[in-house]
Structure 1
Amino acid sequence: MNSQNTAPNPETSRAAPTFGVIIIGDEILSGKRADKHLPKVIELLGARGLTLSWAEYHGDSPERITAALKRAFASADVVFSCGGIGATPDDHTRQCAGRALGQPLALHPEAEALIRERMQDTAREQGVPYEPDRADNIHRLNMGVFPESARIIRNPYNKIPGFSCDGPGGGTVHFVPGFPVMAWPMIESVLDAHYSDFFQRHAHVEKSVILFGSMEATLTPLMETIEARHPGVKVFSLPSVDHPQWGRHIELGVKGEPQAVDAAYADLRSGLEPFGLQYGPELVRQV
């Protein structure tokens, strides 16, 4: 097994990868716990000029988890999988990763060393001797049993590592615990260590205008024209029927690099003139 924690640094000439997240746990789907990972992953990516393209939620079903991981490994995406990597009976993610890859599981030597270090720390904190052969301590080593190609992700909170694996289709999945206090620093470390070449050094911008008295279908041809004229700029339309300030309206705008957005937005405003619409405020945001 390799001891590095993620894929090699990407080349700067390539486009940023597609990022996805898989969130695992019956407690999320049952409502016992509210998911906090999705908004945080969006935040962590956004702070680096990156975007999340997709998200999936799955309960503690080995069949569904395995199927989701097979899709992720078969893609060319970078995926963060949150939850289910512990060693209790309802934790299936490590085993599912092995099945999805067609690889046996084995105790990662660096993970073993870190877990044993954690057990020694715990014994010292409790003022009791460290007993490496005690049954519960032996069981804890299961948290370091990963697919044979795994690379560890260090956990600054309690040293129990996560892991990363590459799939045959080019997809890379980074597995972190379900606990936010552990998962979020681990996700940050993966992004900063291995995907910094893709960070947007200059923030993207959104420019939009609030429109009254129109329908999206009417504006669609104009939106398509703007995107065709301005490659790299995305046009967006956000309708609302009960906004507390503006009531029924459409927020129509463009987003992308600042210079490209300025030109596309001017083109958009010119294209709106023949419609004779009533305008609300203009909005500018960094994204």
Structure 2
Amino acid sequence: MAFGAIIIGDEILSGRRQDRHLAKLIELLGARGLKLAWARYVGDDAARLLPVLRESFATGDVVFSFGGIGATPDDRTRQCAAAALDLPLALHPDAEAAIRARFGDDINEHRLQMGVFPAGCDIVPNPYNGIPGFSIREHYFVPGFPVMAWPMVEWVLDSLYLHLHHAEDYVERAIVVPDAYESALIDLMERLMHDYPDTTVFSLPTVASESQCRSIELGVKGPAVSVAAAMEAMCEGVSAVGYVWQERA
């Protein structure tokens, strides 16, 4: 089962706000032995958002969507999600109850709009202020505010996908090779990928600067036993080329 992310908002694309959701979602997944397969950024324009959601629903992946579920005219995620599934919008009774509990006598139709979701969806509880998000077809729609969105994502992962936590035999290990050139390590990398076909070898070079020397982070990811064997062969191969390596911190 793959996990994806859709991060929505003109303010992200214009630079008025810096996205923090992608790094946090990777962190939350990683802490549970899970990993992110893909991510997309899109603005609030319905003409662009609608096809993104249609494609996402067609994947069958578990997807977290951040932003655009408020009641202002520029928030179009709820409407586009409904249109992508050919569903009507309807005031969710549990969302209505939560909104009325939050605002009491200060309720109005604009606030109730925050509980208008695609028909047949479930709500995602919001521990910060009680205004829920919604879920449908294993897509989880949460606000753009990190203080609300991140606890809601954790609730989804721990309540609905606990059975997937640390279920996959997958690890990543790496070493750092200072003052190295990738060209001198390509033959080694190709040999490792041939000898350990169930793993993936990766190389992340660092460009030299005034404060940092040139280096390469060289690693392997995949099943734990295969990664351990591949890493042993990698370390021996790096030493054979004449480089000194160190464990990645």
Label 1:154 to 1:213 Cα distance change in 2 as closer, same or farther (>3 A).
closer
Q: Which of 167, 171, 175 is the matching residue for 1:204? A: 171
Q: Which of 122, 126, 150 is the matching residue for 2:121? A: 150
Partners of 2:146 and 2:198 in 1: CA distance: 34
Q: CA deviation at 1:245?
A: 6.2
Q: Which of 91, 94, 98 is the matching residue for 2:82? A: 98
Partners of 1:262 and 1:244 in 2: CA distance: 35
Q: 1:42 — aligned with what? A: 26
Identity %: 52
Matched, 1:30 2:1: no
Partners of 2:56 and 2:187 in 1: CA distance: 35
Q: CA deviation at 1:272?
A: 4.1
Q: CA deviation at 1:284?
A: 4.0
Q: 1:283 — aligned with what? A: 247
Partners of 1:221 and 1:105 in 2: CA distance: 57
Does the Cα contact within 8 Å between 2:3 and 2:37 map onto a contact in 1? yes
1:93-148 Cα deviation digits (max 9, x unpaired): 0000011111111111111111111112xxxxxxxxx165xxxx122111111111
Q: Which of 69, 73, 78 is the matching residue for 2:62? A: 78
Say which SS state the counterpart of residue 56 (structure 1) adopts: strand
Matched, 1:138 2:113: no
**Larger RCO (alpha carbons 8 Å, 6+ apart):** 1
Matched, 1:233 2:196: no
The residue type paired with residue 181 of structure 2 is S
Partners of 2:125 and 2:218 in 1: CA distance: 43
Label 1:140 to 1:206 Cα distance change in 2 as closer, same or farther (>3 A).
same
Aligned CA RMSD, in angstroms, stands at: 2.3
Moved >6 Å (runs of 4+)? none
Partners of 2:154 and 2:209 in 1: CA distance: 35
Does the Cα contact within 8 Å between 1:84 and 1:94 map onto a contact in 2? yes
Q: 1:188 — aligned with what? A: 154
The residue type paired with residue 153 of structure 1 is V
Partners of 1:100 and 1:51 in 2: CA distance: 26
Alignment length (residue pairs):
248
Q: CA deviation at 1:53?
A: 2.0
Q: CA deviation at 1:241?
A: 2.1
Does the Cα contact within 8 Å between 1:115 and 1:160 map onto a contact in 2? yes
The residue type paired with residue 165 of structure 1 is I
Structure 2: which 5+ residue stretches go unaligned? Answer: none
Does the Cα contact within 8 Å between 2:173 and 2:231 map onto a contact in 1? no
Q: CA deviation at 1:264?
A: 0.8
Q: CA deviation at 1:37?
A: 1.0
Q: CA deviation at 1:259?
A: 3.6
Partners of 2:224 and 2:19 in 1: CA distance: 33
Partners of 2:48 and 2:242 in 1: CA distance: 49
Q: CA deviation at 1:79?
A: 1.0
Q: CA deviation at 1:231?
A: 4.5
Q: CA deviation at 1:278?
A: 2.5
Structure 1: which 5+ residue stretches go unaligned? Answer: 1-16, 121-129, 167-171
Q: CA deviation at 1:161?
A: 0.6
With the length of structure 2 as denominator, give the TM-score of the two structures: 0.90
Q: 1:214 — aligned with what? A: 181
